[in-house]
Structure 1
Amino acid sequence: MFPRLLAVLGLGVTGSLSGANEQHPQEVLSNAHAKEPSSFIESSIFGRRNIDVVNLPDSEVLAPTYNPRDSEEYPFQGLGTFAHLDFTKCTELESSGTFDIGIVGHPFDLGVSYRPGQRFGPHAARQGARRLSPEAGWDMDHGGVNPFRNWATVTDCGDISNTPFDKLAAIHELERGMEAINKLKAKNESTSDAVRLITIGGDHTITLPILRALHSTWGRVAVLHFDSHLDTWNPKQLGGGLTKYSEVNHGTMLHIAHEEGLLSNHSNMHLGSRCALFDEHYDLNNDLRCGFSYIRARELDTLGIEKVVKQIVKTVGDEYVYLSVDIDVLDPAFAPATGTIEPGGWTTRELLQIIGGLSDAGIKIVGADVVEFTPIYDSVAETTGIAVGQIIYEILHWMVHVPVKRPKP
């Protein structure tokens, strides 16, 4: 395994790593003889050219254990897939034209700064969604629509395989897996001509490879970032300086996405924010530079749901939108199982109402993730896992309600 990782990183198996570290701590991570970088992205090890992608394994999805027929009568039976959906090997070309919306897991937590364990989030979220099923997919709040049985064929794509030993390799594996799925044709192209994915994390670092994979299809997107934290921190503020590997994490990925030109210039928003800052002015100024405005968690009490939705709609306008929901946007009373917990958040009902309001407004959603679910900290009642399942169900309603067409070249 160790020689394979060295090969992935382009390092010789017989080279003396200890000697290099003693003389130049960064030499194993970068080319000491390269010309001076002209930008942050050029200097970052996470630039795409800095890994030999040829040596990465082919994209692979790992199937949940399931039997969809077991669930038709009793929702607590039929372990495995999200809401007892059928499983599809979504990274294979043979799956092109077989589905419209996929649920995909990213079992990754190499970018956390506090409590780890998010790699178990996809499995636990599927368990939290076992009360849902296509056979009983209607509810009292969506006007007789069953999102599993509407125009869109919905499937569980399993988990994208990624190494737990190397952050750099894992991020590229996740990106390649998402690219493979995004290349597939949608089943109902007359209604919505692109496959769309709802990703279950995993820590929030996974949003970076997802946005990279989306860019070739949708170009720059406006990110609606439901999170107690900003996640646009400059690596110099959070994680940087130790090694190049530390530059990307679950608090810097949106900064890097901006530097790579993946985000809208002015239409991104943080929603439910309430975090500590490292500096009196710099963090918020840098956040503005990255194209974000924000609605703090406490503002919901004065604005109300309707005004929050209107402000979001006004900000994003007609742009394509990527939705990223860190489960810590909810108050710990409603979602205790998360990695970097912050008191004073929104209720599950308030979050669902805001997402539903954006759907009603016709915001063009092209993809989504729900991240930072750390099941080891959940209650015995599976409070967080069930909330994650319900949030994904609400996002699914949004995608079904608002079909999208690819931008014209």
Structure 2
Amino acid sequence: MISFLILVVFVYSVCASKHSQKFLDNHDRPSNFIQSSIYGKNLEQNSLPDPVTLPPSYQSRDFDQEDAFGGIGTFAHLPFTECTNSANSGTFDIGIVGHPFDLGVSYRPGARFGPNGARQGARRLSSVGGLEYVTIDHGVNPFRNWATVTDCGDISNTPFDKLVAIQELEHGMKTINSMTPKNVSAADAVRLITIGGDHTITLPILRALHSTWGRVAVLHFDSHLDTWDPKQLGGGLTKHSEVNHGTMLHIAHEEGLLSNHSNMHLGSRCALFDEHYDIDNDIRCGFSIIRARELDKIGVDKVVKKVLDTVGDEYVYLSVDIDVLDPAFAPATGTIEPGGWTTRELLAIINGLSEAGLKIIGSDVVEFTPVYDNAAETTGIVVSQIIYEILQWMVKVPVKTPKA
């Protein structure tokens, strides 16, 4: 009996081996290791699937004040719109869109959960129920003015491959950016406020917006420069490592996406890799700097004036890394730098730029890593308030494209 079983196993093994060899012989084998690896494959953007946005699990409806505390909601209980669906073109003017991505971080991971955390922090805001969000600082309810505001959900992207994910985010943003706004008398292009995600996402966003707005002046609120030459941060390993949350503005400059001379860092206070090269390269990328400590000397009004004098009449893209704030106000971020601005100072500067009528064409708020937040959700609430202030700015300053 044992001999019979051994014979059966032997015959089965021989047959399986011949079948496997026949299968392999009928398929093209890679001639070398490179062809069989990721380095031998080039991903064409038209090979990506159609972009989709992932809806929140709770969609807004008309409700009384008690309902504001329940559910896993959209941002400020806004209605959800599948913004990548062409059928929804002409139904909204301003979209809140999440980028759950953190493959470009160099210190603390976890910003992929930032969009969800920001929506949790925005539960206290309300887009429904009359005029209760006409604040004493603004006098306008941005949810119920000329612009129809919606939550677009999150742009789906792979958590496994950085370069593919960046292309997916760009593809999704291009699709949303191509939609016609609802109120074409006020603006001829939709505008988006993006919730990150680590700061790498600014690169695919700028790529997506370039065909509509051309070169833009980037106002970069951040403790770090993020114009580092990839050979300074992440270079020398692979092409994947060169694209990260500290090099994306350098790459954006190299690709011709930024203004030649009107970009600014605000709130900077980081260490440098090199005593001279980093700043020289930053200037080459078209940036000037207002350091965090300068605010104590010149005050909010002069910060705003410096920005106005630098930007002039150019289109503005606003990128806010929450580490521009001191960790006392926003502890839940990827790369903490002590000595930052207070929440009130940041909001006052943003409000000053809004009052001056700078032409904001898009924005992101990034580097929120909820796992490091405290029980009071300090950072999540701050992020939601920053987004609310940016929304006020967009409603206050409708913008026409250069082609209009």
TM-score (norm 1): 0.89
Contact 1:83 1:129 in 2 (8 A): yes
Match of 1:140 in 2: 136
Matched, 1:62 2:54: yes
Give CA deviations for 1:39-98 in whole Å, capped at 9, x if unaligned. Answer: xxxxxxxxxxx5212321110000001142375322212322000000000001111110
Give CA deviations for 1:82-128 in whole Å, capped at 9, x if unaligned. Answer: 00000000001111110000000000000000000000000000000
Specify the SS of the correspondent of 1:69: coil
Match of 1:78 in 2: 71
Contact 2:134 2:141 in 1 (8 A): yes
How many angstroms apart in 1 are the aligned matches of 2:77 and 2:254?
39
Matched, 1:284 2:279: yes
Give CA deviations for 1:300-338 in whole Å, capped at 9, x if unaligned. Answer: 000100000000011000000000000000000000000
Match of 1:171 in 2: 166
How many angstroms apart in 2 are the aligned matches of 1:318 and 1:108?
33
Specify the SS of the correspondent of 1:369: strand
How many angstroms apart in 2 are the aligned matches of 1:343 and 1:64?
34
Residue 30 (structure 1) shift: 6.3
| Change in 2 beyond 3 A, CA 1:145/1:70 | closer
Contact 1:69 1:78 in 2 (8 A): no
5+ residue gaps, structure 1: 1-11, 32-49
Residue 16 (structure 1) shift: 7.6
5+ residue gaps, structure 2: 1-26
**Which residue identity is paired with 2:159?**
P
Contact 1:71 1:77 in 2 (8 A): no
How many angstroms apart in 1 are the aligned matches of 2:322 and 2:206?
19
How many angstroms apart in 2 are the aligned matches of 1:101 and 1:308?
27
Matched, 1:310 2:299: no
Residue pairs, 1:117-128, within 5 angstroms: 117-128=110-121
Specify the SS of the correspondent of 1:269: strand
Contact 2:59 2:80 in 1 (8 A): no
Give CA deviations for 1:139-162 in whole Å, capped at 9, x if unaligned. Answer: 1100x2000000000000000000
Match of 2:266 in 1: 271
How many angstroms apart in 1 are the aligned matches of 2:297 and 2:316?
26
Give CA deviations for 1:153-184 in whole Å, capped at 9, x if unaligned. Answer: 00000000000000011000000000000000
Match of 1:248 in 2: 243
Residue pairs, 1:3-42, within 5 angstroms: 15=30, 19-20=33-34, 28-29=38-39
**Which residue identity is paired with 1:182?**
N
Match of 1:371 in 2: 366
How many angstroms apart in 2 are the aligned matches of 1:238 and 1:83?
37
Match of 1:343 among 330, 334, 338: 338
How many angstroms apart in 2 are the aligned matches of 1:85 and 1:277?
41
Match of 2:9 in 1: none
Contact 1:71 1:84 in 2 (8 A): no
Residue pairs, 1:322-337, within 5 angstroms: 322-337=317-332
How many angstroms apart in 2 are the aligned matches of 1:210 and 1:370?
12
Matched, 1:234 2:229: yes
**Which residue identity is paired with 1:325?**
V
How many angstroms apart in 2 are the aligned matches of 1:281 and 1:355?
31
Alignment: residue pair count: 374
Residue 398 (structure 1) shift: 0.1
Structure exhibiting the larger radius of gyration computed from Cα positions: 2
**Which residue identity is paired with 1:209?**
P
Amino-acid identity (%): 76
Could you tell which deviates more after superposition, 128-137 or 204-213? Answer: 128-137
TM-score (norm 2): 0.90
How many angstroms apart in 1 are the aligned matches of 2:106 and 2:35?
24
| Change in 2 beyond 3 A, CA 1:51/1:130 | same
Contact 1:364 1:402 in 2 (8 A): yes
Specify the SS of the correspondent of 1:321: strand
Contact 1:62 1:158 in 2 (8 A): yes
How many angstroms apart in 1 are the aligned matches of 2:40 and 2:280?
30
How many angstroms apart in 2 are the aligned matches of 1:149 and 1:88?
17
Contact 1:60 1:160 in 2 (8 A): yes
Contact 2:188 2:399 in 1 (8 A): yes
How many angstroms apart in 1 are the aligned matches of 2:217 and 2:287?
9
Contact 1:330 1:348 in 2 (8 A): yes
| Change in 2 beyond 3 A, CA 1:230/1:71 | farther
Contact 1:267 1:315 in 2 (8 A): yes
How many angstroms apart in 1 are the aligned matches of 2:38 and 2:55?
36
How many angstroms apart in 2 are the aligned matches of 1:256 and 1:408?
26
Could you tell which deviates more after superposition, 225-234 or 55-64? Answer: 55-64
| Change in 2 beyond 3 A, CA 1:121/1:71 | farther
Match of 1:384 in 2: 379
How many angstroms apart in 2 are the aligned matches of 1:386 and 1:71?
22
Specify the SS of the correspondent of 2:335: coil
How many angstroms apart in 1 are the aligned matches of 2:61 and 2:144?
16
Match of 2:108 among 97, 108, 115: 115
